[in-house]
Amino acid sequence: MAVTNMRLKLLIDTKNRKVLFAEADKDFVDFLFHILRLPLGTIIPLLKKQGTVGSFENIYDSIENLSTTYLQPNVNKETLLKHKVHISSGTGEVPLLLPDIESSPTSRKFFRCSRLQNNNCYGYVADDGSALCPSCQVSMTRDLSFVDPLTSDNSVSSGGGYVKGVVTYMIMDDLEVKPMSTISSITLLNKLNVKQLGDLEEKVVELGMDEGVKLLKASLQSESVLTDVFLLKSERETESMEETNVSLKLLINRESQRVLYAEAGKDFIDFLFHILVFPVGSYIPLLKKQEMVGSFHNIYESIENLSSAYLQPNANKETILNPKVHIADGTGDDVPLLLPNIESSTSAKFYRCASSSHGCDEYVAYDFSAICPSCEGAMNCEVSFVDLPSATNKDSFSESGYVKGLVSYMVMDDLEVKPMSIISSTITLLNRFNVKETAALEEKVVYLGMDEGVKLLKASLQSKTVLTDVFLPKIRVETYGSE
């Protein structure tokens, strides 16, 4: 699909060198809303090129570099790093402003058994044509059409995307989105203390993939995204679940007050790897409480506050803000629940038509309120998801989670993960960190609950010294208190 360029009309306060707000049509708003549906792992390669992803890139690289020997048999690196989500029919037709990320609604396809030898074959669905039907062992290569749930008014979508195209939208510098209004614009100028209209300048800017990635990066870090991306660039050119505790053994350099690395079991590594599977929007409510998500929370709240009158009939707020993902059978089970209100189970279920008549077997849905396009009956018959052949290989014992449990892992301060080795890892690292006296080293066991899980997520977006930032302040308090 061709690259789509778009325009934004900025209103700039030339005196304070700041973008007050932008005037945008549906394509830019669709792009912003679409970001929240993308799994975090899909945007990390883009941010790496910009040189900024906090420490998430080290989790990503650790998965890339980790030998498959340490991974569970049902874990596939490709699906972990580039997790696919289903996007409702039509809503995925948004501008392609992020390279290498498919926004097509067909980015995730579904398949059924190609033979349908018996009724049991109807009970399975897969998202890869090389999966084998558990009933008859034939490849599941027959395409299925995905059926969305009914809209509240049964109306038909027009134009694709998430919001309607007959409206102009106001985008604040911090990415808050609301419908454009002349009166509200004047009120806003007064609120922003604009005294002289002569200080205002209107400027039209073009957005392509380069600006799309910069916008994504700034959204994670800044409360003045439009200013940072467009104005500063211009200036440079001219000038609920039960909490689970997990332990970590830290090696601390007391002289530099820094965590050198941590020794971790599979539970902590599974937690780190599991983060990349969930869409960006899943994390915004958690980080809002920590008062740090750059400007992403304004996109999130704009969707929450936007009247459904502006949304396409097939765009559902709940599915944009809390999209469901399928997690390979077993991998999500027993991953430590260190992030509140994020389901770690196989949250996406699949359904087919209750009838097995001709034509009804061509469709699949993951909402039992969907109506079969063939017979107009309810699609309320649950089907089992079939993973790739390696995922259904029963010859080898598989634990839950992502990595194997009979190994200890070394987690660096910047969250790089690798198998533990005393000689090649520990001694080499001590030399690399220029540790001369082992007396300066301290070993300490810390425990992670949901509070630390959220702090770790936040620090991963901002810092290259995540373990130090999360655990050393606590250690200092405990040390001072014991004196």
Looking at 329, 363, 392, the residue that finishes a domain is 392
Q: Are residues 259 and 349 in the same domain?
A: no
pTM: 0.70
Check residue 223 and give its pLDDT: 86
The answer to whether 24 and 8 have CB atoms below 8 angstroms apart is yes
pLDDT in tens, 343-387: 543 356 788 888 877 778 888 887 777 888 888 888 888 887 776
Instruction: Say how far apart CA 463 and CA 414 lie, in whole Å.
Output: 8
pLDDT in tens, 382-431: 887 776 665 444 444 456 777 888 788 989 898 989 888 766 566 777 77
Q: Are residues 424 and 367 in the same domain?
A: no
Domain that holds residue 410: 246-274+405-482
Cβ partners under 8 Å of residue 64, min gap 6? 77, 81
Q: Are residues 268 and 281 in the same domain?
A: no
The structural domain count of the chain equals: 2
Residue 345 has what DSSP assignment? S
Q: 192, 466, 177: which is closest to 297 by C-alpha?
A: 177
Cβ partners under 8 Å of residue 365, min gap 6? 146, 147, 148, 149, 350, 351, 352, 379
Cβ partners under 8 Å of residue 194, min gap 6? 13, 20, 200
Among 228-237, 275-284, 340-349, name the one with the lowest average pLDDT: 340-349
Q: 66, 425, 440, 448: which is closest to 261 by C-alpha?
A: 425
- Cα distance from N-terminal residue to C-terminal residue, the chain: 65
Check residue 171 and give its pLDDT: 92
Whether the per-residue pLDDT at 82 is higher than 60: the answer is yes
Residue 1 in domain: no
Q: Are residues 71 and 189 in the same domain?
A: yes
Whether the per-residue pLDDT at 89 is higher than 60: the answer is no
Check residue 91 and give its pLDDT: 53
Residue 397 in domain: no
Sign of dihedral through CA atoms 187, 189, 195, 197? negative
Q: Are residues 287 and 349 in the same domain?
A: yes
Check residue 352 and give its pLDDT: 87
Mean of the per-residue pLDDT values of the chain: 76
Instruction: Say how far apart CA 93 and CA 79 lie, in whole Å.
Output: 23
CB count in 10 Å sphere of residue 31? 24
Residue 138's identity, in one-letter code, is V
